[in-house]
Amino acid sequence: MSTAELIVLATGGLVSGIMAGLLGIGGGVILVPILVTLSYTPIQATATSNLAIIITSVSGSIQNWRMGYLDWKRVIYLGIPAAIFAQLGVYLATKSPPYILLILFGILLLINIYLVQWRNRLKTSDRATQTTFNPFIAKITTGGAGGLLAGLFGVGGGVIMVPLQMLLLKEEIKLAIQTSLGVIVITAISATVRQAYEGNLLLMQGIVLGCGGLIGAQISTRALPKLPDRVVSVIFRSFLGILSLYIFYRAWLSYQGS
């Protein structure tokens, strides 16, 4: 690993850690494109992203716990179905052509742009008028969706778990973000163990990314939530749009070379 690659990985991990603490996501939407840009295969990128996400999400969750903002009961209820569905996601990822994974990941990024806005609308909506869902089914759906994305794309799954917690479980946005980050610890461990068994994991690259993420998560869980939600939302959605275009470009190159 060259010095330039080390700097890119550490910086990317730092940015992903900041996003993790701020938005309750694992940071894979940043890590996977970085690894693909460094010429690693999509399956290596998703596997290594999950390893880094373990370090990042543990860092952020410990900080949330120290500040009294982490409910372990909620985390476990969502984490069990998430861990199970993460295994399904990894299986599907190992059976898919690289360009298909990239196309699906690009689509996921575009969907996330809408989900971020959806999450903001849910924050200000009147929960008394929202439909009530069966709590057991809602928890399985929320955790399962996050776990599936974690295994399939190397993301934490928080980008879907946060809005689903708000919609199905009627949680407040800050509680949903903090719970999501805790669940991501479980999903990332589940996916990483399977990916390591399949031989797709890049250990050193994942550790470097994770160490950067550890620092970033500490920063964002303490300071960045004080920023206006509107500013953070606009920046994040713009970032996702640019990333999606780049991932579609990489998918086209991968398809041309297949």
Question: Which has more pLDDT, 1 or 146?
Answer: 146
Statement: residue 126 has pLDDT above 60: no
Inform me whether the pLDDT recorded for 250 exceeds 90.
no
Q: How many domains does the chain have?
A: 1
Task: Report the mean per-residue pLDDT for the chain.
Answer: 84
- Is the pLDDT confidence value at 34 over 80? yes
Residue 228, Ramachandran bin (φ over 0: left; ψ between -120 and 50: alpha; else beta) = beta
Confidence band for 85, pLDDT divided at 50, 70 and 90: very high
Full residue range of the structural domain in which residue 96 is found: 3-257
Mean pLDDT, residues 147-151 taken together:
86
For the ranges 16-20, 228-232, 238-242, the lowest mean pLDDT is seen at: 228-232
pLDDT of residue 7: 93
Cα(157)–Cα(145) distance, rounded to whole angstroms? 7
Question: Is 70 exceeded by the pLDDT of residue 128?
Answer: no
Q: Contact at 8 Å (CB) between 243 and 112?
A: no
In the chain, % of residues over pLDDT 90: 27
pLDDT for res 258? 66
pLDDT higher than threshold 70 for residue 129: no
State how far the Cα of 199 lies from the Cα of 189, in Å rounded to an integer.
15
Reported pTM: 0.78
Predicted confidence (pLDDT) at residue 11 exceeds the cutoff of 90 = yes
Phi, psi of 68 (to 5 degrees): 80, 25
Average pLDDT over residues 23-51: 86
Q: How confident is the model at residue 200 (pLDDT cuts 50, 70, 90)?
A: very high
User: Is the pLDDT score of 79 beyond 90?
Assistant: yes
Mean pLDDT of 179-187: 90
What's 18-61 look like in SS3? HHHHHHCCCCHHHHHHHHHHCCCCHHHHHHHHHHHHHHHHHHHH
Q: What is the pLDDT of residue 125?
A: 60
Mean pLDDT throughout 129-158?
A: 82
Amino acid at 4: A
